[in-house]
Structure 1
Amino acid sequence: MTRVALIDDHESVRLGLEAACTRSGGMTVVFSGETVSAYLDWRAFANAAPADVVVLDLTLGDGATVTENVTRLVADGSPVIIHSVADRPGAVREALVSGAAGVVSKASRTGEVVDAIATVARGDSLDNVEWASAIDGDRDFADAQLSARERDVLRLYAAGLPLKAVADRLGIAYSTAKENITRVRVKYVGVGRSASTKIDLLRRAMEDGLVAEGGRSVR
């Protein structure tokens, strides 16, 4: 039996996938929950082995970034399938770069998701040519290669904090926060992504998974 973990903050999605996995006859859902932290806590408490495959929503309500989520799961020993809508190529790119085994659209039939789980459980690769082509051909989502500090500053600034509050929150000088935002703007412009206004920066941060839909900081 393939041991599957489902991590999605929409219960209806999890219930549908759990039913499909059960119907397949070759899978058992060992965990169904809303966050990666909850899954890892369950593993530690139950002294359970890593799931054979983790099906992970691209954006979760706890604010963790896709990079953080995928990296933690892969480091824990499970291959990860991203189960996502197809409207965030930047975040999908980030997930694949972080080590996700592939992506399955939420528009897919549950049977297709089950087939993808079986494929990854066998150690085979998913056919993500269509996703890869869409991502690589979209200049709007070119990687600006922000540093960790620049990402932290952008995350808070784009979420609505003034630069002084950003500096206080991160324990850095105001001038340092201002310099980081300037570098962020330069880097985004350098890869063809507009960043002249705070609204532009909010859009870039949302595209790159640093800020959730609606402008809420993900950390």
Structure 2
Amino acid sequence: MTSVRSVSVVLIDDHPVVLAGIESWYAASVDPEVRVVAKGATLAAATNGPGAEADVVILDLQLGTGVSAYAELRHLVARQRQVIVYTMQDSAQAALTCLDIGAFTYLTKAEGEEHLLQATLAAAAGVPYTPPALAGALGSDTRRERPRLAAREIEVLLEWFQSESKAMVAESLGISVRTVNTYLDRVRIKYANVGRPATTKANLVAKAVQDGLISLEEL
């Protein structure tokens, strides 16, 4: 799955027993090692101290406020964090909303240790990961044919269309080539899930023009 030797994680959940359970799962990982460097019940765990530099953020969608943590997710995505939403809420609409905002993936807590660990390693490596509940949500998505892309996904996509290489995109946007690939993979997955696969750059250009994301003059 990944060539990294160590992955750092921050946990955001308002249930201490959940935090303890997830931390024990990660503690058992060896190759690669997964380390919980910060945890807490609020966004501060991922924005202050060692959590601010963690490779992956595990975010509960309900944090005791009675309101889904979409604002917290947007805050993290805007800062280019790799966020796994890990929640009791088995809702196709919630899963699709989180993906639209820019979450790396969406897991229900019923999916347990194996999927959370694999998703964490995938997030650290920038490799897409679709657990069963999310696959079901994507399969039942009856929204309009045009996929809903997050603002950052569109930005990376358009920059790539106008650049000669992914390295140039990375330099222009101040991100890594791995992150560029992650965003482009997400875009391809979203197009595939609405029945419009785009496996090449030319395919993506054509679909972006069709969907009004870019004009021929801009190319």
TM-score by length of 2: 0.55
**Equivalent of 1:78, from 78, 81, 91?**
81
Q: CA deviation at 1:125?
A: 0.5
Task: Check 1:32–1:130 CA distance in 2 against 1; reply closer, same or farther (3 A cut).
Answer: closer
Unmatched segments (≥5 aa) in structure 1: 141-219
CA RMSD in angstroms comes to 2.6
Task: Check 1:66–1:28 CA distance in 2 against 1; reply closer, same or farther (3 A cut).
Answer: same
Is 1:97 aligned with 2:100? yes
**Equivalent of 1:30, from 28, 37, 54?**
37
Q: What does residue 121 of structure 1 align with?
A: 124
Letter in 2 for 1:73: L
What CA distance in whole angstroms lies between the structure 2 residues aligned with 1:90 and 1:16?
A: 27
Task: Check 1:139–1:111 CA distance in 2 against 1; reply closer, same or farther (3 A cut).
Answer: closer
Whether the 8 Å contact between 1:104 and 1:113 is mirrored in structure 2 is: yes
Is 1:21 aligned with 2:29? no
Task: Check 1:33–1:133 CA distance in 2 against 1; reply closer, same or farther (3 A cut).
Answer: same
**After superposition, what is the alpha-carbon deviation per residue over 1:65-97, rounded to whole angstroms, capped at 9, x for unaligned?**
432111111223320111123532222221111
TM-score by length of 1: 0.55
Find the residue that maps to 2:37 and give its secondary structure. Answer: strand
Unmatched segments (≥5 aa) in structure 2: 1-5, 144-219
Bigger-Rg structure (1/2): 1
Whether the 8 Å contact between 1:20 and 1:111 is mirrored in structure 2 is: no
Q: Structure with the greater relative contact order (CA < 8 A, sep ≥ 6): 1 or 2?
A: 1
Q: Identity of paired residues, percent?
A: 32
Task: Check 1:48–1:9 CA distance in 2 against 1; reply closer, same or farther (3 A cut).
Answer: closer
* Alignment length (residue pairs): 137
What CA distance in whole angstroms lies between the structure 2 residues aligned with 1:37 and 1:103?
A: 21
What CA distance in whole angstroms lies between the structure 2 residues aligned with 1:115 and 1:136?
A: 21
Q: What does residue 160 of structure 2 align with?
A: none
Whether the 8 Å contact between 1:58 and 1:92 is mirrored in structure 2 is: no
Q: What does residue 148 of structure 1 align with?
A: none
